[in-house]
Amino acid sequence: MSRKYFGTDGVRGLVGKAPITPDFAMRLGYAAGTTLVAQEQLPPGEHPAVLIGKDTRISGYMLEAALEAGFAAAGVDVCLVGPMPTPAVAYLTRALRLQAGVVISASHNPYYDNGIKFFSARGTKLPDAVELEIESRLEQPMGCMESAKLGKARRIEDAAGRYIEFCKSTFPNELDLRGLRIAVDCAHGADYHVAPAVFHELGAEVTRFGVSPNGLNINEEVGATHPASIRKAVLDSKADIGISLDGDGDRLIMADSTGNIYDGDQLLYVIARHQARQAKVPGVVGTLMSNLGFEHALDRLDVPLVRAKVGDRYVLEQLMEKDWLLGGENSGHIICLDKHSTGDGIVAALQVLAALRAGKETLAEACADLRMYPQKLVNVRMPDGFDWKSEPGIAAAQTAAEKNLAGKGRVLLRPSGTEPLLRVMVEGQEAAVVTAEAEAIAAAVRQAFSQ
Section 204-224 average pLDDT: 98
* Angstrom distance (rounded) from CA 437 to CA 426: 7
Residue 2 clears pLDDT 70, i.e. is over it: no
Domain boundary among 258, 281, 304: 258
For the stretch 15-64, pLDDT in tens is 999 999 999 999 999 999 999 888 777 777 788 999 999 999 999 999 99
**113 & 18 share domain:** yes
Categorize the per-residue pLDDT at 4 as very low, low, confident or very high, splitting at 50, 70 and 90. Answer: confident
* Angstrom distance (rounded) from CA 355 to CA 331: 20
pLDDT at 25: 98
- For 360, residues 6+ apart whose C-beta sits below 8 A from its C-beta are none
Residue 417 clears pLDDT 80, i.e. is over it: no
**153 & 39 share domain:** yes
**241 & 203 share domain:** yes
The C-alpha angle with vertex 104 and arms to 62 and 4, in degrees rounded to 5, equals 100
Section 70-75 average pLDDT: 97
Q: Which among 378, 374, 373, 385 has a CA at the least distance from the CA of 441?
A: 378
pLDDT at 195: 98
**20 & 151 share domain:** yes
The answer to the question of residue 1 being in a domain is no
The answer to the question of residue 434 being in a domain is yes
Give, as one character, the DSSP assignment of residue 390: G
The answer to the question of residue 292 being in a domain is yes
Domain boundary among 137, 158, 179: 158
* Angstrom distance (rounded) from CA 180 to CA 195: 16
- Helix, strand, coil percent values for the chain (each to nearest 5): 40, 20, 40
* Angstrom distance (rounded) from CA 58 to CA 220: 14
**125 & 31 share domain:** yes
**99 & 87 share domain:** yes
Domain hosting 414: range is 375-450
Query: 264-278 vs 345-359: helix axis angle to the nearest 10?
Result: 50
Work out the mean pLDDT of the chain and round it to a whole number.
Answer: 94
Domain boundary among 346, 366, 386: 366
Residue 1 clears pLDDT 70, i.e. is over it: no
The residues annotated with a catalytic role in the active site are: 107
* Angstrom distance (rounded) from CA 439 to CA 430: 15
* Angstrom distance (rounded) from CA 406 to CA 397: 15
**116 & 71 share domain:** yes
The answer to the question of residue 24 being in a domain is yes
Q: Which among 94, 67, 95, 70 has a CA at the least distance from the CA of 80?
A: 67
Could you tell me if 406 and 434 are in contact, meaning their C-beta atoms sit under 8 angstroms apart? no
Strands (E), 87-229: 100-104, 113-120, 153-155, 181-185, 205-209
Backbone angles phi, psi at 361, to 5 degrees: -125, 160
* Angstrom distance (rounded) from CA 55 to CA 94: 19
pLDDT at 384: 82
CATH for 342: 3.40.120.10
**243 & 110 share domain:** no
Query: 159-169 vs 86-95: helix axis angle to the nearest 10?
Result: 90
Categorize the per-residue pLDDT at 451 as very low, low, confident or very high, splitting at 50, 70 and 90. Answer: low
For the stretch 143-163, pLDDT in tens is 999 999 999 999 999 999 999
Q: Is 337 helix (H, G, I), strand (E, B) or coil?
A: coil
Instruction: Tell how strand 100-104 and strand 49-54 pair up.
Output: parallel
- Enumerate the β-bridge partners of residue 117: 103
pLDDT at 45: 73
Give how many domains the chain has, as a whole number: 4
Backbone angles phi, psi at 137, to 5 degrees: -75, -25
The answer to the question of residue 140 being in a domain is yes
The answer to the question of residue 4 being in a domain is no
**26 & 153 share domain:** yes
For the stretch 252-264, pLDDT in tens is 999 999 999 999 9
**194 & 72 share domain:** no
The answer to the question of residue 279 being in a domain is yes
**409 & 284 share domain:** no
For residue 248, how many C-alpha atoms fall within 13 Å in the half-sphere facing its CB? 29
The answer to the question of residue 2 being in a domain is no
Whole-model pTM: value is 0.91
**74 & 115 share domain:** yes
pLDDT at 43: 76
